Amino acid sequence: MNIKNIRNFSIIAHIDHGKSTIADRLIEYTGTLSKREMEAQVLDQMDLERERGITIKAQAVRLEYVGKDGETYQINLIDTPGHVDFTYEVSRSLAACEGALLVVDAAQGIEAQTLANVYLALEHNLEIIPVVNKIDLPSADPDKVKHEIEEVIGLDASEAVLASAKAGIGIKEILDAIVEKVPAPTGDENAPLSALIFDSHFDAYKGVIAYVRVMNGKIKPGMKLRMMVTNKEFEVTEVGIFRPALANIGELSTGEVGFVVGSIKNVKDVRVGDTITDALKPAKEPLPGYRGINPMVYCGLYPMDSSDYDNLKDALEKLQLNDASLLFEPETSIALGFGFRCGFLGLLHMDVIQERLEREYNLGLITTAPSVIYQVYKTNGEILKIDNPANLPPATEIDHIDEPYVKATVIVPNDFVGAVMELSQEKRGEFKDMKYLDVDRVMITYHIPLSEIIYDYFDRLKSSTRGYASLDYELTDYQTSILVKLDILLNGEPVDALSVIVHKDKAAYRGRQLAEKLKGIIPKQMFEIPIQAAIGNKVIARETVKAMRKDVLAKCYGGDISRKRKLLEKQKEGKKRMKSVGSVEIPQEAFMAILKID
Ligand code: GTP
């Protein structure tokens, strides 16, 4: 295909504004898949994605479309994940494109992630085509949304496409706009190969499949290629395109999007953002913008049943094959035994992995409360990175602690400004800026500790704004805070997996609240269980779980053995979700209790 007839674009949108539905319609309209072949959401392949209705991994598909000029165009759609956890993947997908559809819900208007994604697209110099979607909704107000796009983003929205992905309105107009407005790729077919890796996945039969955009040169089977960051080399066995299923072709040429398969065993060798070049005739420099991804949120994952340790390890290894941003390493907890410390890009990433472990690998897990990475400066000059509160050195050895801060952007109707400010202030946020998007919607920016965001900021933001707020955040810096470790003792024994790092001013309050919460969560047992919250050696709160004998057999008649057994089994089931720590049984909920404190 002549490079002039290639168009590469992404769709950027806030969650639920209709990105996947539009992608489906484009695939359907161009006849890439027949109706019969269309699944409800072709691009969102994973079950979990479908259930939660969010896109996690970027995907790609090649469409063919005959433009108004009668010429056939090759249009590559690169899907982007819509969630804040996956910003880096969004950025790489955008780097593979020349244009982007900016999809905005006609009833909702611009939201926090719309803006975050638009800024990324502008950074990559993309041609942005505004699409106002869901115009079929009774509450749709396309003119207001167009006005917002012009005022807030500064884009000309006079030619915005008005669409309803649901009703199939505006789909041809979107395709025509892509052909007319998105620039064709540039690049030199005869130059040494450089191709950007924007995604990858592990296939049990083929091994690692790298998703690439060729910037210069060509890729053909038999070539020996090198990744310019990891320096790994491999021989190409297959190249092909996404229709959206993988389809082999003879070569991938400059400007095109497709996949490369070779002798690559591990997705870790195929880093998103890396540049592939010809090992025999390498490009001088890698493509710009590669950066490693660092997890921001850590938690401990422990098998409920300790004999499942190897299964958990196996499952994590398998998940990691497809998700290079998932980190894990063995960790031991006095309370929970052998498990893993796992690092995630954010809370959603963490939830998704936990759910997949439980669902796809049938593992019962105990998860500890999420933690950020603290930089701990010791009095002896040592600097530690602490991602597990239990590992914080004693206060006497600490000079000071720095914690990660983010810039949080919240968009809300102006009635809720007070509520957002109150919550953000309570969460140690520092007010930065407030801007009106239009007469009744406001964008508020705060500088706020990441640890407060991962506690319950988003949940509380949602509830205090009746679901109207949208949130986006990005890591900005580390700042010194006065932080202490809050320990929990059960029956006089510290339970390391329940320790948390909290701000000194909140420690006493959180300690009391946590002890009280735990009292409600830890089941009564045959003996009394004291619950203590302590900072260092100082106990700051105490509660007691009273003793009780829960005699389930008392209700049974004397001789009915099978009924007795049934009851005993039921009781055993109930216990499964608990972990015995010393002589005390602790339910999973207890480890998350800290997140449920106001
Ligand atoms: P993420 O994958 O989470 O980023 O969401 P998305 O932007 O891909 O949104 P998706 O396409 O899944 O659509 C979200 C919801 O809006 C779904 O329930 C769709 O059926 C609905 N929807 C999409 N387009 C339209 C439309 O034009 N009109 C109406 N009424 N509903 C729509």
User: Per residue in 81-97, pLDDT tens?
Assistant: 656 667 777 888 899 99
User: Is residue 8 a known part of a binding site?
Assistant: no
Report residue 341's pLDDT band, with 50, 70 and 90 as the boundaries. very high
| Complex ipTM more than 0.95, yes or no | yes
**What percentage of residues in the chain have a pLDDT greater than 70?**
88
248 sits in which H/E element: strand 246-249
Say what the pLDDT of residue 37 is: 59
88 sits in which H/E element: helix 87-95
User: Is residue 21 a known part of a binding site?
Assistant: yes
Report residue 44's pLDDT band, with 50, 70 and 90 as the boundaries. very low
Say what the pLDDT of residue 569 is: 59
How far apart are alpha carbons 470 and 458 in whole angstroms? 9
Neighbours of 289 (CB within 10 A): 14
- 10, 14, 15, 16: residue to mutate for ligand 1 pocket, most atoms within 8 A of CB: 16
pLDDT at 150 over 70: yes
pLDDT at 225 over 70: yes
Taking the CA of residue 54 as reference, the ligand 1 atom at the shortest distance is 3
- 12, 14, 20, 21: residue to mutate for ligand 1 pocket, most atoms within 8 A of CB: 21
Q: Do the beta carbons of residue 523 and residue 510 sit within 8 Å?
A: no
Three-class secondary structure of residue 562 per DSSP:
helix
The finding on whether 83 has its CB within 6 A of some atom of ligand 1 is: no
pLDDT at 567 over 80: no
Residue with the larger pLDDT of the pair 575 and 539:
539
- pLDDT tens-digit map of 444-465: 999 999 999 888 888 889 888 8
User: Is residue 20 a known part of a binding site?
Assistant: yes
User: Is residue 444 a known part of a binding site?
Assistant: no
How far apart are alpha carbons 207 and 321 in whole angstroms? 10
For every residue of 194-229, DSSP letters joined together read: EEEEEEEEEETTTEEEEEEEEEES-B-TT-EEEETT
pLDDT at 562 over 80: no
pLDDT at 34 over 80: no
Query: What is the reported pTM?
Result: 0.77
The finding on whether 59 has its CB within 6 A of some atom of ligand 1 is: no
How far apart are alpha carbons 77 and 27 in whole angstroms? 9
Mean pLDDT lowest for which of 145-149, 444-448, 543-547, 590-594?
Answer: 590-594
Residue with the larger pLDDT of the pair 402 and 53:
402
Say what the pLDDT of residue 527 is: 83
The finding on whether 82 has its CB within 6 A of some atom of ligand 1 is: yes
Taking the CA of residue 17 as reference, the ligand 1 atom at the shortest distance is 7
Mean pLDDT lowest for which of 190-199, 249-258, 259-268, 375-384?
Answer: 259-268
Say what the pLDDT of residue 560 is: 52
For residue 72, give Cα distances in angstroms to 3, 90, 241, 254: 12, 28, 17, 18
The finding on whether 20 has its CB within 6 A of some atom of ligand 1 is: yes
The residue whose CA has the least distance to atom 19 of ligand 1 is 18
pLDDT at 574 over 60: no
- CA neighbor of 511 nearest in space, from 521, 495, 500: 500
Average pLDDT over residues 388-407: 94
Give the single-character DSSP code of 394: P
| Average pLDDT taken over every residue of the chain | 86
The residue whose CA has the least distance to atom 10 of ligand 1 is 18
The finding on whether 53 has its CB within 6 A of some atom of ligand 1 is: yes
Mean pLDDT lowest for which of 106-120, 183-197, 214-228?
Answer: 106-120
The finding on whether 170 has its CB within 6 A of some atom of ligand 1 is: no
The residue whose CA has the least distance to atom 4 of ligand 1 is 15
- pLDDT tens-digit map of 373-388: 999 999 999 999 999 9
pLDDT at 58 over 70: no
72 sits in which H/E element: strand 72-78
Report residue 389's pLDDT band, with 50, 70 and 90 as the boundaries. very high
User: Is residue 306 a known part of a binding site?
Assistant: no
Average pLDDT over residues 260-279: 87
The finding on whether 194 has its CB within 6 A of some atom of ligand 1 is: no
Quote the ligand 1 centre to 131 CA distance (angstroms): 13
Average pLDDT over residues 543-553: 71
pLDDT at 32 over 60: yes
Quote the ligand 1 centre to 105 CA distance (angstroms): 9
Report residue 203's pLDDT band, with 50, 70 and 90 as the boundaries. confident
User: Is residue 135 a known part of a binding site?
Assistant: yes
Average pLDDT over residues 339-345: 93
- 10, 11, 20, 59: residue to mutate for ligand 1 pocket, most atoms within 8 A of CB: 20
Quote the ligand 1 centre to 20 CA distance (angstroms): 7
- pLDDT tens-digit map of 404-444: 999 999 999 999 999 999 999 999 999 999 998 888 889 99
pLDDT at 54 over 90: no
Taking the CA of residue 13 as reference, the ligand 1 atom at the shortest distance is 7
User: Is residue 133 a known part of a binding site?
Assistant: yes
User: Is residue 16 a known part of a binding site?
Assistant: yes
